[in-house]
Amino acid sequence: MTAPYSASAFTTEAGTLNLFAFFHLNLAYSSIEEGQRTEVIERCYKPLLRLAEKFGPIGVEASGFTLEEIALRTPDWIADLKRLIACGKVEFIGCGYSQMIGPLVPWRVTEANLKIGNEIYQRLLGIAPRLALVNEQAYSGGLVGLYLDAGYDAIIMDWDNPASTHDWPVETGYTPQRARGADGRSIALIWSNTVAFQKLQRYAHSDIALDDYLGYIRRQRGTTERCLCLYASDAEIFDFRPGRYKTEEKIGEISEWQKLEDAFARLQVEPGCTMVGPCELLDGPQDAELRLETPAVPIPVKKQPKYNLSRWAVTGRDDLFINAACQRLYQVLAASDAAPSAWKELCWLWASDFRTHITAKRWSELEKRLSAALQRFPLPEVPLPAAPHGPAITDRYIDIATPCVQARLDRRRGLALANVRFGGAALIGMLPHGTFDDIALQADWYTGNAVFEAPGEHKVTDLEWGRAQVWQEGGDTLAFARIDTPKGPIEKTMRFCGASARIDFDIAFHWDDWGKGSLRLGHVTLLPDAFDWQQLSLTTHNGGKDPETFALDGETVDHGAPVSFLVSASHGLGMTEGWVEIGDAAHRIRITVDRATAPLLGLLTHRCLRGGMFCQLALSALELDDTRKPAAPRAGPRRFRFNVNATFP
């Protein structure tokens, strides 16, 4: 579709273009050391307030953490901000106490984050902001109700990614809308615009001339009244360089904040353009109620495709480890009468910046605070699975039968599940080579297997002969296999329950070197003949109180498709209450993850084929992107726990 920032014919009859801007302030910025924060305030935040005083109203968005840090270092700045808010030169925009990724955390954590942030805004600024920026523009329908309950009237969300998966009219991107949430309520929605803010950055960094920038703005006018967000990104990149990228422009002789003032001065007198405050847009009509998410893109995120949910879930220095630690803390706090300070610390620990380009020094500090919090609020360790004690199995196939589960395991393929029956119905298992006519699917597709892929290297899998044992424990049957791989052994224990239609997995990877790549395990492959394809749907929680359901009929979904050689996944499912469910009206398969051990990311693949369907859910423990750095060695194996069960609605 044509994006709203595409050039439109400019005529003298064009409608008014309402221009607004806001600057994102973040003293927790991943690649800025704590000792640089006062410098950031002097070089970036003070000039921002001068810009607002001259050309406001301008939006200023900051976390509660950032405001508290500024108040400690430069209290006069807080006083100036408060004064500019009072006289209408600044509109303050909220986001919570920390910049956390809502679709990756349980809803009670986001609820606490918004509440604590609002308390800080009231204490330091004496206001309750109407407008919230969705952190990192990582949006899910489940978040809408949380923002409404926190008192927000509207949210800001990036236009480009939601628009890429919807056939919306071009004008939709130039007018306020409403975003429909998982609970049926909706919230006012103002669009930010990636290209527009990058144009202003390029001008300020002397990459394009002012006349070129103004020409771009003029081309955004249409035949009717429109709104355009001039800027919706970091304040810390003007007259300061965080040092995140090698390609950062050098700071020139002319102040970049002065260049911004020059641009705003020209825009104020630009014919057909009017500078407005972001909240002024809320006083007009919101055209439509939109659902921003789709099955293919369940959690749209800011900017270009390299930004997706895996960035904060399973990449970085060791995102999975720190996310699991935060989950353990959450489970203790949620089950106790914990003080607000404990929730505040948890929100700090779950901030997004620790999960991207965090410096080694700040990573070390994070690990110390995580360790201290876990000692204060310990969660009992889950016992290791029972040691195998049955006779060694020499046959290739192992048949398991309990009153609720019947399965065939393939020892030649690391005990992959060739066929699983729950209550007599064969629902998941293996699809052999040749099942589909499509050459892209001409492979064997398994259930319960693991695959590690690194750029330019052969795959490492557990689809090899394993030393296997089977034994009984109460009414359950347990199967164990140890599979040797080039990176180290994998030990897999499966419990086939006798009292419920469930299989428990406990998998340990004895790998010293994880390297740069993707690790996906727990693949669950649906048997096409077992389901009504037209009724198939997926349900899970992506950060909200209420589950989100995605109808899959006619949809093509490939969350695990690489974006480039550098970015190994495109999208993902947060599964923030620990489960995802796929099925039709007659049969549902639920995959439940032990998030306190490892909060794995869900990756769905779904394709409708000639006379058939391919549907598989994988659990990702590791992905590759530009934030990925080697993790420090940790004692013992990496352990992953999840289960698969069937329900019959």
Q: What's 474's domain CATH number?
A: 2.70.98.10
> What per-residue confidence (pLDDT) applies to 171?
93
Tell me the pLDDT of the chain averaged across its residues.
93
Residue 228 inside a domain? The answer is no
Residues 371 and 422 placed together within one structural domain of the fold: no
> Residue 596: pLDDT above 70?
yes
Distances (CA, A) of 364 to 34, 35, 319, 328, 370: 13, 15, 14, 20, 10
> Residue 2: pLDDT above 80?
no
Residue 381 inside a domain? The answer is no
> What per-residue confidence (pLDDT) applies to 305?
79
Residue 211 inside a domain? The answer is no
Number of domains observed in the structure of the chain? 3
Residues 497 and 603 placed together within one structural domain of the fold: yes
Residues 447 and 368 placed together within one structural domain of the fold: no
> What per-residue confidence (pLDDT) applies to 249?
63
Residues 435 and 504 placed together within one structural domain of the fold: yes
Q: How confident is the model over 541-569, as a mean pLDDT?
A: 95
Cβ distance 80 to 51 under 8 Å?
Answer: no
> Residue 8: pLDDT above 50?
no
Residue 242 inside a domain? The answer is no
pLDDT digits (tens, 9 = 90+) for 408-460: 999 999 999 999 999 888 999 999 887 777 767 777 899 999 999 999 899 99
Residues 470 and 358 placed together within one structural domain of the fold: no
Above pLDDT 90, what percent of the chain? 84
pLDDT digits (tens, 9 = 90+) for 574-593: 999 999 999 999 999 999 99
> Residue 12: pLDDT above 60?
no
Question: What span, in angstroms and rounded, lies between the C-alpha atoms of 634 and 636?
Answer: 6
Q: How confident is the model over 112-129, as a mean pLDDT?
A: 98
Looking at this protein, which amino acid is placed at residue 187?
A: I
- Token output for 49: 């307030």
Residues 421 and 346 placed together within one structural domain of the fold: no
Question: What span, in angstroms and rounded, lies between the C-alpha atoms of 327 and 320?
Answer: 10
Residues 470 and 345 placed together within one structural domain of the fold: no
Residues 411 and 518 placed together within one structural domain of the fold: yes
Residues 467 and 350 placed together within one structural domain of the fold: no
Residues 516 and 424 placed together within one structural domain of the fold: yes
Report the CATH number at residue 61: 3.20.110.20
110-114, 287-291, 413-417, 571-575: the lowest-pLDDT one: 287-291
Q: Identify the domain containing residue 342 by its residue range.
A: 312-376
Residues 371 and 478 placed together within one structural domain of the fold: no
Residue 384 inside a domain? The answer is no
Residues 110 and 162 placed together within one structural domain of the fold: yes
Cβ distance 157 to 181 under 8 Å?
Answer: no
Residue 16 inside a domain? The answer is no
pTM for the model: 0.94
pLDDT digits (tens, 9 = 90+) for 369-422: 999 999 999 998 898 898 898 899 999 999 999 999 999 999 999 999 999 999
Residue 2 inside a domain? The answer is no
pLDDT band at 244 (very low <50, low <70, confident <90, very high): low
> What per-residue confidence (pLDDT) applies to 442?
72
Residue 248 inside a domain? The answer is no
Cβ distance 66 to 27 under 8 Å?
Answer: yes
155-169, 390-404, 493-507, 601-615: the lowest-pLDDT one: 601-615
